[in-house]
A and B are shown apart, each in its own frame.
Chain A
Amino acid sequence: MNTESDVVIIGAGPSGAVAALELLRAGMSVTVLEQGDWVPADHFDGARPEWELTQLKRWHPNPNVRGRPEDYPIDTAASDVNPLMFAGVGGAALIYGAHWMRFMPSDFRVRTLDGVARDWPFAYEDLAPFYGYVEEAMGVSGLSGNPAYPDGAPCPLPALPMGKVGRKAAEGMNRLGWHWWPGSNAIPSRAYRGLQPCVLRGTCGTGCSDGAKATPDRTHWPEAQKLGVNLRTGARAAEIETDAKGRARAVVWIDRRGARHRARGSVVILCANGVGTPRLLLMSGLGNRSGLVGRRLMMHPYAGVMGTFEDDLESWVGPAGQILTSMQFYETDRSRGFLRGAKWNCMPAGGPQSFRAGYTGGTLTGGWGATLHDRVARKFGRSFEWGIIGEDLPDESNRVDLSDALVDGDGLPAPRITYAISDNTRKMLAFHTARAVEAMEAAGAIETEVTPLIRDCGWHLMGTAVMGDDPETSVVNAVGAVHDVPGLYVMDASTFPTSSGMNPTATIMAVAARSVLDLIERRAEVDAA
């Protein structure tokens, strides 16, 4: 089957949703290829007793663990961190924590300020209107006036409750005089457009069973459908084709039965995430004059400090997004022995499954027997975490390329990840976990546990088709146009020159909005097929 539309978009996650909706509003015809399916809210298990069981397999963020037909396998043998993602209408947002953070102004000027990595080709102030635009669409809840931002990072909806956990953490931070702020989350605190109000169920990371969490299947795709989007699910993109002049012309895709199809369009936009996008470019042999396609992969190594308290904190209560954040140690202080910094997020401890053996380290049975009952009695409901997202500086040796042995269900080469945590990152996480222990102790923790690095933490996939002005040193320009291929765009986090230490969805959507609105404005100038 062949289709013809003005634009073909690969991926129905946050960036694809933003791009598609704006193009449709501008009167253009759009085909979207999504390898996953729609996931209705009642498919998620948050309100059922087995929610912690199914998060270990069906809703696990690692596609290698899920092993569904719509997932492609990833060769991670040479990686310190597992990349995480989800194929479906809404993308990985379906199972994200909905932490909503704007990047900081300094994040766009890393080379200028700290002498490493690159500056972005635009500044925070340039992106701020687009942040506001997508925050309205996503119904972000939070408290405006955050002194960590020059404009206070305004939010359209009031903040979610801090709960007992948040108050305990805040008291500790205030004793130390350290920055914190009520968490900003893409989870509406009251009914908002097509979203239900949050019910604090605390299962955001396994999908919202209450239709509250802001995900593109609820915030963007319904309007896109009304405007006539041709959204194909179960559609795995295999190759981007060009015409005789080298312009993007079509995407070959494969359905679940293995049949091949061709979606033609004069513009093709990649929104397949920081692993899927370079994989497709490499499979298609496109856009790699700079040799940087797939390189500079950044995944945000993550550490955590758990504190246990005497008080009952009801620490299974949500949101499982961030209750508080802290930017106290976000900026570079060279006396610490590393560059850049990290953002902290205070999160509830969740249900009781974390007390089973296997999560405790040491022997395989060490958490069982009397130890199990003792730990549950002392800790369950009385613990919370300061999670630490460290800025991951780009390194060209950290990369996505194509496996020469592993293939997906359609015989396409799987992505292969080569990724090593840097010395800068190790020093950064060591410093931050030490400070987080102090924060826990200041809050009254009677026990702390440090997790120096979590292997399943690669939620944030960035940098593998870097933006810049020079075609010799970048893959796309400042609005996502691939330098060497007219009509081909990248509008996901692959384009990010640096990673910041923030959860990236806000910036992914804001940059996508900036890019696609520029494309619409300049469409007459595009050398399209």
Chain B
Amino acid sequence: MSLSGTERKRLGALARVMIPGGAGQPGAAALGLEGAPVDDVLRIDPTRAGPLRRFLALEGPIDTLAGIEALAQHEPDGFEAVSVVLANAYFMHPETRAAIGYPGQEARDASVGLGEADLALVDVVAGRGPVFRRV
């Protein structure tokens, strides 16, 4: 599925209010979130498209969070779709991940096991003795 131009414009307006940027993190506008990033999310989970479109079709001011809240209370399932789509488009974006220091769920070596510092902490527990209830 593909959003219409009108829908995409409305979603972009929502995104700019919901994700304005700050604290060293990019805003939705700078990332063009309503374009390819949102398309990627809807390709992966097309079940969000229906409720998303219902929300985008609502009329009402969306230039503040208070305005969006009023619409969200009217159409909570639609707003949930907006939230899921925008949040995933945002946090899947490489620029966002770089900004927050998130490399993604990368692979690491688990075979290193417990280190000396860990075992020193464990020794304290072991030294306190058994804690199970005698039966």
Residues on A facing B (Cβ under 8 Å) = 46-47, 49-54, 56-58, 104-106, 108-109, 112-113, 123-124, 143, 145, 147-150, 158-162, 166-167, 170-171, 173-174, 177, 179-182, 187, 189-190, 197-203, 210, 312, 316-319, 327-328, 331, 351-353, 355-358, 363-365, 368-370, 372-374, 376-377, 380-381
Given known contacts A147-B130, A353-B88, A368-B19, A49 and B104 CB-to-CB distance under 8 angstroms = yes
Contact A201 B132 (CB under 8 A): no
Residue among A106, A173, A200, A331 with the most chain B CB within 10 A?
A200
Contact B124 A203 (CB under 8 A): no
CA distance A190 to B112 in the complex (A): 9
A328, chain B: closest CB distance, angstroms? 7
Contact A358 B80 (CB under 8 A): yes
Q: From residue 58 to 91 of chain B, which have CB atoms closer than 8 A to chain A?
A: 65, 68-69, 72-73, 76, 79-80, 83-84, 86-88, 91
Complex contacts, A351 vs chain B, CB 8 Å:
91, 102, 104-105
When the two chains form the complex, which single residue of A47, A113, A377 contacts B25, counting CB atoms closer than 8 Å? A377
Complex contacts, B22 vs chain A, CB 8 Å:
370, 373-374
Given known contacts A143-B114, A376-B23, A328 and B131 CB-to-CB distance under 8 angstroms = yes
Complex contacts, A173 vs chain B, CB 8 Å:
125
Contact A158 B114 (CB under 8 A): yes
Given known contacts A51-B105, A373-B21, A374-B23, A161 and B110 CB-to-CB distance under 8 angstroms = yes
Given known contacts A104-B132, A147-B128, A328-B131, A316 and B23 CB-to-CB distance under 8 angstroms = no
Determine whether B5 belongs to the interface, using a CB cutoff of 8 Å to chain A. Answer: no
* Closest B residue, CB atoms, query A332: B133
CA distance A358 to B17 in the complex (A): 16
Given known contacts A109-B135, A143-B122, A181-B122, A53 and B108 CB-to-CB distance under 8 angstroms = no
B85, chain A: closest CB distance, angstroms? 9
CA distance A150 to B135 in the complex (A): 10
Q: From residue 115 to 135 of chain B, which have CB atoms closer than 8 A to chain A?
A: 115, 117-118, 121-122, 124-126, 128-133, 135
* Closest B residue, CB atoms, query A188: B110
When the two chains form the complex, which single residue of A124, A189, A377 contacts B110, counting CB atoms closer than 8 Å? A189
CA distance A46 to B106 in the complex (A): 9
Residues on B facing A (Cβ under 8 Å) = 17-25, 40-41, 44-45, 47, 65, 68-69, 72-73, 76, 79-80, 83-84, 86-88, 91-92, 100-102, 104-115, 117-118, 121-122, 124-126, 128-133, 135
CA distance A148 to B131 in the complex (A): 5
CA distance A150 to B121 in the complex (A): 21
Contact B44 A161 (CB under 8 A): no
Complex contacts, A372 vs chain B, CB 8 Å:
18-19
Contact A190 B111 (CB under 8 A): yes
Contact A52 B88 (CB under 8 A): yes
Residue among B72, B125, B129 with the most chain A CB within 10 A?
B125
Contact B100 A380 (CB under 8 A): yes
B130, chain A: closest CB distance, angstroms? 5
Residue among B45, B69, B105 with the most chain A CB within 10 A?
B105
Further 7 A-B residue pairs, CB within 8 A, beyond A50-B88, A147-B130, A380-B100: A47-B107, A159-B113, A170-B122, A179-B125, A368-B68, A372-B18, A373-B20
Contact A365 B72 (CB under 8 A): yes
- Sample 10 A-B pairs with CB under 8 A, ordered by A number: A143-B114, A143-B122, A179-B131, A316-B102, A316-B105, A327-B132, A331-B133, A353-B88, A364-B73, A372-B19
